[in-house]
Amino acid sequence: MRPVDPQTKNRPAEGRLSPEDVAFIRSAADRLQESVERVIVGKPDIVRLALVALLCEGHILLEDVPGTGKTMLARTIARSLGCSFRRIQFTPDLMPSDVTGINYFNQKLGEFVFREGPLIAQVVLADEINRATPRTQAALLEAMEEKQLTVEGVTVQLPRPFLVLATQNPVELEGTFPLPEAQLDRFLLRLKLGYPDEDGEDEILSRFEDHSPLGDVEPVLEAAELVRLAAALGHLHVDPSIRRYCVQIVRETRNDASFELGASPRASLALFRASRAHAAINGRDFVLPDDVKTMARHVLPHRLILSTQSRLRGRDTGDILDEVLRRVPVPIEE
């Protein structure tokens, strides 16, 4: 593991990022990608997007059909980070207290004691999140947004970084509960893995022939490093025109009649942060309009609701969003 550069670690949290800072962020992203790709085959773009979410301390929703590697990707990311890890298997009978923890009376001590639930960890895998009832899903809302948990009036601060990697199957409808908009809006990215190509699937068979390579994955980044890198991104230069470009894209989704519900101000902030992280992991200390366009296709679609007419016409959220991106003027340097 690369040691932390003391000069970078102690750099004041002010001013613009130096080239050394950007180089260190890219190096960390490259190490993480190399580690994850030891297990995940043929998905470099998906892995790169997942790293964007990690650097933003944002949550990821992995949505695809069974067997495409959603859980494996989440577990590999968790093992590549030197973070505490918990897995929650969501089922219809899961209760909120099973996730958050409970206060119980300890007869030996003669007082109530809080027993932590699996949500109190740095990386939480919420497997098949849409199988839990809305009441249990709602137990994640405060934690995902405010990085804290309130149980019976007592508030507990969650460790940093705090990342929720959730998976869901979009095909099965029986015994599932669609995620409400308030829940979807708290995920920075929604990613779809898709099926591998023929060579990639053959590589999977070869790589997993004797044993799972997941067992060989070692942490390549410490939790404190990840928190520090996330804080450093706040000093990456963003031209005011690029910031306004993010706002204009989001506002245009609210004005488009094809959408019943446009993106929220939280979406504007998510797009801004994700674009900044995308620039950094590509070794730049400034954000381009292309960064915004790239991240908009992953940050915004799950926050948008199509109008009835759009659904009847069989239109796709992604296609309409592409039209929005073409309409909004791209800022050009004078």
Tell me the pLDDT of the chain averaged across its residues: 84
Q: Are residues 99 and 231 in the same domain?
A: yes
Q: DSSP secondary structure string, 210-276?
A: SS-GGGG----EEHHHHHHHHHHGGGSB--HHHHHHHHHHHHHHHH-TTEEE---HHHHHHHHHHHH
pLDDT at 328: 93
CA–CA gap between residue 194 and residue 65 (Å, rounded): 8
From residue 195, give the alpha-carbon distance in Å to each of 9, 205, 301. 41, 14, 21
Q: Are residues 205 and 250 in the same domain?
A: no
Establish if 1 belongs to a structural domain.
no
Residue that is last in its domain, among 189, 209, 235? 235
DSSP annotation of 19? H
From residue 41, give the alpha-carbon distance in Å to each of 14, 38, 265. 39, 7, 35
CB atoms within 10 A of CB 41: 21
Question: Six-digit token pair at 145?
Answer: 């947004």
The whole-number average pLDDT for the span 76-100 is 87
How do residues 238-292 score in pLDDT, each as one tens digit? 899 999 999 999 999 999 888 998 899 999 999 999 999 999 998 888 899 999 9
Q: Are residues 256 and 332 in the same domain?
A: yes
Alpha-carbon 259 to chain mean position:
24
The whole-number average pLDDT for the span 1-10 is 37
Q: Are residues 256 and 225 in the same domain?
A: no
CA–CA gap between residue 296 and residue 303 (Å, rounded): 11
Establish if 194 belongs to a structural domain.
yes
Q: Output the domain CATH number for residue 26.
A: 3.40.50.300
Q: Are residues 186 and 114 in the same domain?
A: yes
Q: Are residues 254 and 158 in the same domain?
A: no
The whole-number average pLDDT for the span 300-321 is 89
> Is 50 exceeded by the pLDDT of residue 14?
no
Give the lowest-confidence range in 65-69, 216-220, 295-299. Answer: 65-69
Residue that is last in its domain, among 214, 235, 256? 235
DSSP annotation of 94? -
Q: Are residues 228 and 265 in the same domain?
A: no
Establish if 153 belongs to a structural domain.
yes
pLDDT at 13: 40
> Is 70 exceeded by the pLDDT of residue 113?
yes
- Of the chain, the percentage scoring pLDDT greater than 90 comes to 23
The whole-number average pLDDT for the span 312-321 is 88
pLDDT at 249: 95
Q: Are residues 227 and 310 in the same domain?
A: no
Domain tally, the chain: 2
Q: Are residues 231 and 242 in the same domain?
A: no
Q: Which has more confidence, 295 or 334?
A: 295
Q: Are residues 99 and 242 in the same domain?
A: no
How do residues 130-174 score in pLDDT, each as one tens digit? 888 888 888 899 899 998 888 877 788 888 888 899 988 776 666
CA–CA gap between residue 136 and residue 96 (Å, rounded): 5
Q: Whole domain around residue 222: which residue ranges? A: 6-235
The whole-number average pLDDT for the span 179-193 is 88
Q: Are residues 156 and 226 in the same domain?
A: yes
At 198, give phi and psi (nearest 5°).
-60, -45
